[in-house]
Structure 1
Amino acid sequence: MRALRPLRRPAYRRLATALALSVLAEGLWTLAVVWQVVELGGGPAELSIVSGALALGVVVTALLGGVLADRVPQKRILVGVMAMLAASIGLVAGLSALGALTVPLLVLVAGVIGLSMGMFFPAYSALVPAMVDADELLAVNGLEGVVRPVLLQGAGPALAGVLVAAYSPAAALGATAVACLAGLVAALSLPRRALRRDLGTSGGAGAVVRDLVEGFRYMVGTRWLLVTLVFASLMILVVLGPLEVLVPFAIIERADGGPGGHSLVLLAHGAGGAIASILVASLRLPRRYLTVMIAMWSAACVPMVVFGLATTLWPMVLAGFVVGGLFSAPQVIWGTLLQRRVPPALLGRVTSLDFFVSLAFMPVSMALAGPVSEVVGLTPVFLAAGLVPLAIGAVALVVGRLGPDETAHPLDVARPGAEATPRAA
């Protein structure tokens, strides 16, 4: 099967295992932290602060993570990240079990977790093309598109929900730390790959700044990249806070649900994402791939309206399934697009810029979601999250004029190398 071809390579299997365990840990944390906040007497505002601290940490280190991914053996970065995650989440689990955890402490550790996570994905993305052939990149992104929703929205939250219901949030946080330890073992087993960049004797702060400037110039001078990232930034500002912070409280307040209902919605989200990802990875990429990506991401937000209107759980479960599918499918295309069209020597920095620019508003969105919902209510916030991205996407497609670029650079055509210079078409 085309989507499974990369798994025949032992080195990539180890890398995929490290990714899977890190995503499983993230999925466990996603549900465990909600119910930990609830156990501490918090609500949407407190969860907004905790989630915002983690998101801010990711944004703060995203650019540095990209520079390091182009300068330092990526294995070292992955090992360091998994060790830090295991230690910090293990600390939270221990404090929770002892009854010594407070919301301010949880906020502090969430920030540390975010700082670590911001360095993981640029290193992972820069390492992938060194471990597989170019014609296997779509399959790699398809596998990632399956692994991420299945573990992040499916198995991780489901396991966390069982542990919270049967024992306590501390048990779920402990399982999260164990998953990070297993990810550390997988990262340690990775072979050391040569960097695909000649650094010469460059070094120091000045070289780091030059690296950042070079990556930023490439982003600004490459229209398809800039338009997509600006669109994603605005969409995330409107959508991510309600999705990450308010969905659990919609389930609690509107559907009289608990950890089980929350797990079910996340499981549906993951199932939709996995199915959509494997379909995209198994088929030819669309010729108008930039247009399809933005259109699907815009449409993916519409089912968010359901969480503001439904009063039972099952419509929310169905909405979660559709949101998961429509968000994950274009993500497979996006990963392949970056790996095909971005020069290898810039890939770590461009991936980090993707993280930084796309997620720049993530802490703001998460920090505002709770307080705004307490002022205006859940329904107006979810209506805005579902409908505003449609307008943002339409503007991006009209103003961005992406059609000529995507038809001139089909992703299904094998090419000898990535674009070496920015295109300002």
Structure 2
Amino acid sequence: MVHDVAPAEHQSASVFRSPSFLRLWTGSTASGIATWALPFVLGLAVLERSITAVELGVVLAARTAGFLAAVPVAGVLADRHSRRAVVLWAGLVAGVAAPVIAMGMGRSLVLMATAAAVVGAGQGACRPAFQALTAEVVAEHQRQRANAALTLSVRVTTLVAPGVTALLAVVVDTPVLLVATGVLWLGAALIPPAGADRAPVPGARTRFTADFLDGIREARRHPWFLAGLGALTAVIATGYSATGVVLPLVSRDRYGTEAVLAAALTAYTVGALLGALLMARWKPRHQGWAALAGLACYGFAPLSLLVPAPATAILAAYVLAGVGIELFNVPWFTATQREVDPRMLARVSSLDFLLSYGLAPAGLALIAPAIDHFGAGPVLAACAVVCFAAPAAAALVPSSRGFGTAR
């Protein structure tokens, strides 16, 4: 694959020197913090007995439902209209709904769940719109660094925010923290820059279904995308789900402490930070193969839980899984922004989020019964095999080597 080479001074320049990207990064980071904070703050509300564990489950399920319902709709809207406008309205909707969750605490579960669904819809609408807006704001030769910077902010948030939020909870109550998430959503709505001016597509206005099917057809034009998305979905639905269920049990039953659970999750985040930093500088010769190899590294997480081993082995496996997931994510987003028709980028991105994130709850729902029926060992072994085999199978697709069509 041959690409135009940008001047060396432009390649080495920091993406943060661009005011437009700085605004995009700030807005995206605000949305990421708000997205992460909601379940954590509601968990604190359970500890305070402001809501019950059952209510927490209902509210989070409603948020997930809102997310899944909004993602395909937002993909179509962000391709029909301004990507910036979709980000604006999605952030405003989530920002208004977040305080309503606080209003419903201890009063109305229906009100809480409805508001959470609206917040989830705003979150879901932001995702494909931000992906497409990144391609409009950042030049192609800078997009890998830009995507690395965007994912780096998510990982730093995951690492630092729990402690900060817990400290804030000592000073203010959870309703105030929920209102704060609304303020973050307002920042996500108002801070990002305008995207590129895109000429409207000529022709009569088509129906939503027809537009969405056009996005599916565009995705099918890229075999590497279908193969990579299939591998990602398989890893999330099996390995990610299995470790989410089994890791707390292993931490409690094998090691007699919850510290291993906390350390493993921290190790995963640290690994992802390292992976994002690496991808900000490193461009593998065969980016697709390197990315799929990184995705396969998640298989070491269920493998480390399969047999008795020192806790350090689990931590090492989770660091490796974290590094690997960013070795995949950054080239994956960059290739999608490069290869997909810009007029359909949001729709194709919505397919990515819909399948990879949408099947995660299904995986979690199926893993626990499977463990009860077959035992943790066989389920973990099967999930590890899938995590290794799915990316390997995707790598067999010729265009997967570079995540793109030779030109």
User: Could you say whether these structures have the same fold, taking a TM-score greater than 0.5 normalized by the shorter chain as the test?
Assistant: yes
Where structure 2 has 5 or more consecutive residues not aligned to the other structure, the ranges are 1-8
Deviations 1:173-201 (A, max 9, x none): 74354144134135314443344342346
Letter in 2 for 1:236: I
Question: CA 1:15–1:360 in 2, change beyond 3 Å: closer, same or farther?
Answer: same
Question: CA 1:82–1:277 in 2, change beyond 3 Å: closer, same or farther?
Answer: same
Deviation at 1:163, TM superposition (A): 5.2
Deviation at 1:315, TM superposition (A): 5.2
Letter in 2 for 1:121: R
Matched residues in 1 for 2:373 and 2:42: separation? Answer: 23
Letter in 2 for 1:221: R
2:160 corresponds to which residue? 155
**Normalising by structure 1, what TM-score?**
0.79
Paired-residue identity, %: 22
1:302 corresponds to which residue? 300
Matched residues in 2 for 1:293 and 1:33: separation? Answer: 35
1:409 corresponds to which residue? 406
Deviation at 1:383, TM superposition (A): 4.3
Where structure 1 has 5 or more consecutive residues not aligned to the other structure, the ranges are 411-425
Letter in 2 for 1:157: P
Moved more, 241-250 or 381-390: 241-250
Whether the aligned pair in 2 keeps the contact of 1:149 and 1:274 (CA below 8 Å) is: yes
Matched, 1:199 2:198: no
Matched, 1:122 2:128: yes
2:99 corresponds to which residue? 90
* Matched ranges for 1:230-309 at <5 A: 230-244=230-244, 247=247, 251=251, 255=255, 257=257, 264-283=263-282, 285-307=283-305
Secondary structure, aligned partner of 1:303: helix
Question: CA 1:279–1:128 in 2, change beyond 3 Å: closer, same or farther?
Answer: same
Question: CA 1:235–1:404 in 2, change beyond 3 Å: closer, same or farther?
Answer: closer
Moved more, 6-15 or 386-395: 386-395
Matched residues in 2 for 1:314 and 1:35: separation? Answer: 29
Whether the aligned pair in 1 keeps the contact of 2:101 and 2:178 (CA below 8 Å) is: no
1:25 corresponds to which residue? 34
1:220 corresponds to which residue? 220
Letter in 1 for 2:223: R
Matched residues in 2 for 1:48 and 1:392: separation? Answer: 31
Moved more, 173-182 or 400-409: 400-409
Question: CA 1:262–1:34 in 2, change beyond 3 Å: closer, same or farther?
Answer: farther
1:175 corresponds to which residue? 177
Question: CA 1:257–1:175 in 2, change beyond 3 Å: closer, same or farther?
Answer: farther
Deviation at 1:109, TM superposition (A): 4.8
Letter in 1 for 2:326: S
Matched residues in 2 for 1:377 and 1:157: separation? Answer: 33
Matched, 1:363 2:379: no
| Alignment partner of 2:19 out of 1, 7, 10 | 10
* Matched ranges for 1:50-129 at <5 A: 52-96=61-105, 99-100=106-107, 109-129=115-135
2:151 corresponds to which residue? 145
Matched residues in 1 for 2:43 and 2:307: separation? Answer: 22
Letter in 1 for 2:217: R
Whether the aligned pair in 1 keeps the contact of 2:99 and 2:182 (CA below 8 Å) is: no
Deviation at 1:288, TM superposition (A): 2.1
Letter in 2 for 1:127: L
Letter in 2 for 1:119: A
Whether the aligned pair in 1 keeps the contact of 2:26 and 2:191 (CA below 8 Å) is: no
Whether the aligned pair in 2 keeps the contact of 1:239 and 1:386 (CA below 8 Å) is: yes
1:419 corresponds to which residue? none
* Count of aligned pairs between the two proteins: 396
Question: CA 1:85–1:265 in 2, change beyond 3 Å: closer, same or farther?
Answer: farther
Question: CA 1:298–1:177 in 2, change beyond 3 Å: closer, same or farther?
Answer: farther
Deviation at 1:334, TM superposition (A): 0.6
Whether the aligned pair in 1 keeps the contact of 2:94 and 2:185 (CA below 8 Å) is: no
Deviation at 1:282, TM superposition (A): 0.6
Moved more, 247-256 or 236-245: 247-256
Question: What RMSD, in angstroms, separates the aligned Cα atoms of the two structures?
Answer: 3.6
Matched residues in 2 for 1:49 and 1:243: separation? Answer: 22
Letter in 1 for 2:394: A
Deviations 1:28-76 (A, max 9, x none): 2354445556766649xx9776655444432322211111111222222
Question: CA 1:194–1:233 in 2, change beyond 3 Å: closer, same or farther?
Answer: same
Deviations 1:260-280 (A, max 9, x none): 876554433222112111211
2:4 corresponds to which residue? none
Question: CA 1:24–1:3 in 2, change beyond 3 Å: closer, same or farther?
Answer: farther
Matched residues in 1 for 2:91 and 2:265: separation? Answer: 24
Question: CA 1:183–1:59 in 2, change beyond 3 Å: closer, same or farther?
Answer: closer
Matched, 1:210 2:207: no
| Alignment partner of 1:335 out of 309, 333, 337 | 333
Question: CA 1:134–1:397 in 2, change beyond 3 Å: closer, same or farther?
Answer: closer
Matched residues in 2 for 1:183 and 1:113: separation? Answer: 9
Letter in 2 for 1:238: T
Deviation at 1:371, TM superposition (A): 4.9
Question: CA 1:274–1:42 in 2, change beyond 3 Å: closer, same or farther?
Answer: same
Secondary structure, aligned partner of 1:302: helix
Letter in 1 for 2:135: P
Secondary structure, aligned partner of 2:280: helix
1:418 corresponds to which residue? none
Letter in 2 for 1:158: G
Deviations 1:204-257 (A, max 9, x none): xx3433321221111123211111112222222213333556545654565555
Matched residues in 2 for 1:349 and 1:66: separation? Answer: 4
Letter in 2 for 1:394: A
Q: Taking CA–CA contacts closer than 8 Å with sequence separation of 6 or more, which of the two structures ends up with the larger relative contact order?
A: 1
Whether the aligned pair in 2 keeps the contact of 1:51 and 1:110 (CA below 8 Å) is: yes
Matched, 1:390 2:399: no
Moved more, 319-328 or 14-23: 319-328
